[in-house]
Structure 1
Amino acid sequence: MLSAFLLWLAWPPIPFTALILHVALVPLLQAAENIIQSEEKKKGRLIWRIAIICFFIWNTACIYWVFNSLNAVMQGWLAIIIAQIPFCLGAVLMTLAFWLYYRLRLITSRIWSYAGLICFWIGYEYLHQSWDLAFPWMNLGNGFAESHYLVQWYEYTGVYGGTLWILLSNILVFETILAVKSNASKTNKIRLQISTAALVLIPVLSSVLIYNNYEEKVNPANIVVVQPNIDPYEKFSTLSSADQVAKLIKLSESIGQTNTEFFVWPETAISKGTEERSFRGDENFIRIQEFLKNYKNANLISGIESFAVYDTAVTETARFDSKSDIYFDVFNAAVLIENSAKLQFYHKSKLVPGVEQTPFSNSMAFLKPAFAAFGGSSGSYGKQSEPSVFYSQSGIGSAPVICYESIWGEYVADYIKKDAQFIAIITNDGWWGNTSGKDQHLQYAKLRAIETRRWVARSANTGISAFIDQRGTIVQRTKWWMPGVLKQDINLNEEITFYVKHGDYIAKAGSAGSALFALLLLAGIFKRPNIKKDPPQRNGSN
């Protein structure tokens, strides 16, 4: 319970508490060690029980807001049941990693067990960002999003560097406590204390040094982001698409200037389902072209609900319309419109499980009606396999990142590899109401700015729109549930960071390590447990 409380207290958007993450797992490690040293029977069940309680409370306390969006579209009791998917699944995977650490403790030394814990945990995080039920929201490295000045070195490691830092720190703090409580030598105690302090303080001091000395190269571009504040539960029903576009144009014109390069509108800003090949004849496109004529170099990045029609099922997600005898894909997309007939589309790739895609659709197609019942689609949205960059008339590359995609560091880095000079996040965070969900989503965008050293122009329909500089500092932001428009001269960047070049190498190494430790467990899992009682009281570093 103490670990759960400390993890919650350290999590965004609660400010100034990120360093608590370095001790938050210590009570759980102590509880596990007490069980291992005890005469209790069925120790594995006890380990599983204490871990699942800890991680379920932590996950639920931090992402309780998921329930809000579900409760708005279904009966309360059903929303409670469905909400257990994000609440419980992450907690179960975390618990599995911790239980595997316990199994290692039965057959090997604490040092190797700790190495296994680190690998199993990083392996779980990487799995949870890679499979059809992906929800990497609670990766430990995200915990520093509020205190971004502490992790400027994410440009080298990404968020998995933060996960590794937290795990190592908790292990060293725990070992130091064991050594102090034992009759270990004074030298051993001092060595552990110095190592622990160094592991925590050196990354902090180096990050603060980078933060204070980082200088952007001057390469300005004027960007405008718009927040229309249209209720997400009404924008597809009570307010016409034409009226929404008119509101967006009015807000844009209120602050646009002759040298504005990009206007950024939020996710599904063009809410009318539009066939992409015929979009140039759509009334919304015509009105937007008229608006852009007043800004010679301007481009518009906007969210759009679009679809594509096929004669045959050319994609796995294509749906069949028996009335018209055609196949079609529906997209949560972004479009780039400029002062010409040229159009560029990007189809959201990282889809929300259940709402935008049916997880494991080939083997679990029978779940489509259930997902459709709570606001999802009866068929998965179409998507791209990789990101694509929008290029303006003047050659500026922008990364059109749609909502949920902004929590994938490596995926956003792929835009930068393709010459994106700034990141445009278009989102709609009003589904969750006035909860910490919208704040967490905004804070996580700061980590993408640090990893890539790119400005972020964030346009939210009913969330929080903002500009974030290359250090991850929010320089402008709108208020919640209010129409707003911001403009900023950002600095474009063409340099590639170490993280952008190498991606989630820590996650991949950890996942490989978890596979090796799993083989070790398979080789020794049937051995009779032979834990010597109270080994830490004799040697705190053993």
Structure 2
Amino acid sequence: MFTFIRYIPVLLSPFFLYLSLKFIDFGFLYIPFFSFVIFTISLFKKKRKIITFFIFFIYWLLTLFWILNLNVDLTGLQKILLFFGWIFLSALYAFLFSLPFFLCSLDNFEIFLIPVIYSVIEILMSSTRDFSFIWMFPSVSLVKYPLFIQTADIGGSYILTFFVIFFSVLIYKIFKDRKNFKRYSLIFLLLFLFVFYYGIYSLSRDFSNDKRTFKVTLIQPNLEGYMKESYRDFVDYRINMIKELLDISLKDDGEILIFPETSSPMFFSYESPTRRYIKNFAAKNKKAIFIGAIREEEDKDIYFNSIFLFKPDSSMEYYDKIRLVPFVEHLPYSDIFNFIKKIDYGQGDYTPGEVQKVFNYKDVNFSGYICFESIFPKFVSNFSKNGANFLINVSEDIWFIKGDGLKQHFYSGILRSVENRKYLVRVSNPGISAVIDWYGNIVWKSREGKREVKTENVKLNDRLTFFVYSDNIAGKILIYIFILFIYVKIARRQNDRKS
């Protein structure tokens, strides 16, 4: 009977964790629920690794279930590959989330290394060149509480992940180790007060270096991802929608009109009626237009997922997406191993860009990054380091409008704005579009699946946060601690074998 009862928490804990992030207004529950996960794992000695992996595998199956509900017309083969991709990603993340428990004992000081390892995993997973995918790490649980995410300007989302897991470990120790109840309670209180008062201090600061503002017009077109009619109908539909929304945007006085990723079905690499129309519109109305489209390298069979800036002076600039979605936009390491290029299951074949560009318009510097790139803290921080006064994230989210993926993707923008102390303008099709201030507050947010045109003021800041200026030194310290821990652990095992 006792054995059966022990397995009840095993079944409940992944659902508790998942629900705390699904209903993000109650995201703070992630901390006690993670403590419950630690408690559940502690109930098992012989089967601890299997139980740990099982808990996180179920959790990630739930969290990534939206992958099976993509709003895409797939072939039978693609559906099968998508299913196995869901299983593979869930298993990979289950292993990564289990790894700290594989390495650390719950019965001694090693338990306090678990938060360090989680942060290190997040750092390393965001640093790999072609195979990066950091999604819904513990830091996301705090996005609805601006007061408690302000330390992100010190150590990015990595330090928030550290705090979330550290608080969870402390709660577990407070209830588990009654002899040291006061000690752990005091540590919990001191750490909480630090985060709390740093939040109050940060929210009282004005991060603008001058009083200038810049008016941006967000255009959420609510375009269909594909049409079952002819491709010509699809192209005409999108072009006509762009023209219609440009006319609507003239009712406001935005200085730059921003469309989502791949809004235009036409290449802007060459002269075309659509490119000419947008150039003329920008010149005639004295407005810049920022719009996503595919770029083809002239005289080469190379394609980029890009954003184009059309200025009133008829000049045009662009940024090529650098961090491509693995297995969707680009096969990892296909530029190194030629045999990978021969694999074809209907995926995209974009080439990654090379330069993290800063645009300038009316003496205002800004950077735009595309879709998936928003989940990488260090990557986005480079735009700030390069001189951006505010950030723009354009995205095509029609593919996962049916599940949790739409909101999960949106949450990362809140953390990026605090890490960089920059206003973030997010323009998505079919939502969620938003303006987020440098405290992580949502100034304005669109409705999902609705056509909207909205003009907002963004404040400017060219100063760097400690996270950006120090090149994430807090994260590097955590990595050094992890390396030292592994070194000591290996040395102890070798000594034990000798003795």
Query: Normalising by the residue count of structure 1, what TM-score does the alignment of the two structures yield?
Result: 0.82
Matched, 1:328 2:338: no
Aligned to 2:157: 159
Of 347, 370, 393 in structure 2, the residue corresponding to residue 376 of structure 1 is 347
Q: CA shift at 1:204, angstroms? A: 3.0
Question: C-alpha offsets along residues 110-165 of structure 1, whole Å, 9 cap, x if unaligned?
Answer: 21x13443333222222221222211112222222233332122122210111110
Aligned to 1:410: 378
Is the 1:7–1:58 contact (alpha carbons within 8 Å) kept by the matching residues of 2?
yes
Aligned to 2:279: 289
Q: CA shift at 1:300, angstroms? A: 1.2
Change (3 A) 1:363 1:384: closer
**Range 169-178 or range 209-218, more displaced:** 209-218
Is the 1:14–1:146 contact (alpha carbons within 8 Å) kept by the matching residues of 2?
no
Matched, 1:133 2:131: yes
Question: C-alpha offsets along residues 46-84 of structure 1, whole Å, 9 cap, x if unaligned?
Answer: 222111112112222222212222874243444322222
Question: C-alpha offsets along residues 22-50 of structure 1, whole Å, 9 cap, x if unaligned?
Answer: 223323333443434xxxxxx3xx22211
Change (3 A) 1:385 1:518: farther
Q: CA shift at 1:367, angstroms? A: 5.2
Matched, 1:245 2:214: no
In 2, the alpha carbon distance for the partners of 1:284 and 1:47 equals 61
Is the 1:258–1:295 contact (alpha carbons within 8 Å) kept by the matching residues of 2?
no
Change (3 A) 1:527 1:20: farther
Aligned to 1:170: 168
Q: CA shift at 1:258, angstroms? A: 7.7
Is the 2:126–2:132 contact (alpha carbons within 8 Å) kept by the matching residues of 1?
yes
Is the 2:221–2:245 contact (alpha carbons within 8 Å) kept by the matching residues of 1?
yes
Change (3 A) 1:525 1:234: farther
Q: Where does structure 2 lack aligned partners over 5 or more consecutive residues?
A: 1-9
In 2, the alpha carbon distance for the partners of 1:273 and 1:401 equals 19
Is the 1:71–1:79 contact (alpha carbons within 8 Å) kept by the matching residues of 2?
no
In 1, the alpha carbon distance for the partners of 2:390 and 2:288 equals 14
Change (3 A) 1:302 1:172: same
Of 361, 366, 369 in structure 2, the residue corresponding to residue 398 of structure 1 is 366
Structure 2 counterpart SS, 1:267: coil
Give 1:113-512 correspondences, 5 Å limit: 113-131=110-128, 132-180=130-178, 184=179, 188-211=180-203, 214=206, 216=208, 218-234=211-227, 237=231, 239-241=233-235, 243-256=237-250, 259-274=253-268, 276=269, 279=270, 281-296=271-286, 298-309=287-298, 327-361=300-334, 366=339, 372-373=344-345, 375-377=346-348, 379=349, 381-392=350-361, 394-512=362-480
Matched to 1:157, the amino acid is G
Matched to 2:351, the amino acid is G
Matched to 2:14, the amino acid is A
Change (3 A) 1:329 1:376: same
Q: Where does structure 1 lack aligned partners over 5 or more consecutive residues?
A: 37-42, 311-326, 530-542
**Range 247-256 or range 214-223, more displaced:** 214-223
Change (3 A) 1:19 1:198: farther
Q: CA shift at 1:6, angstroms? A: 3.2
Aligned to 2:3: none
Is the 1:65–1:437 contact (alpha carbons within 8 Å) kept by the matching residues of 2?
yes
Q: CA shift at 1:357, angstroms? A: 1.5
Q: CA shift at 1:257, angstroms? A: 5.5
Aligned to 1:320: none
The structure that has the greater radius of gyration is 1
Change (3 A) 1:170 1:346: same
Matched to 1:96, the amino acid is L
Aligned to 1:110: 108
Number of equivalences: 482
Of 17, 22, 35 in structure 2, the residue corresponding to residue 7 of structure 1 is 17
Q: CA shift at 1:242, angstroms? A: 5.0
In 2, the alpha carbon distance for the partners of 1:417 and 1:257 equals 35
Structure 2 counterpart SS, 1:352: coil
Aligned to 2:27: 18
Q: CA RMSD in A?
A: 2.6
Is the 1:148–1:446 contact (alpha carbons within 8 Å) kept by the matching residues of 2?
no
Change (3 A) 1:369 1:484: farther
Is the 1:155–1:498 contact (alpha carbons within 8 Å) kept by the matching residues of 2?
yes
Question: C-alpha offsets along residues 243-297 of structure 1, whole Å, 9 cap, x if unaligned?
Answer: 42332232132233685321111101122244x3xx3x2211110022113322x
Query: Normalising by the residue count of structure 2, what TM-score does the alignment of the two structures yield?
Result: 0.89
Aligned to 1:68: 69
**Range 425-434 or range 498-507, more displaced:** 498-507
Change (3 A) 1:220 1:460: same
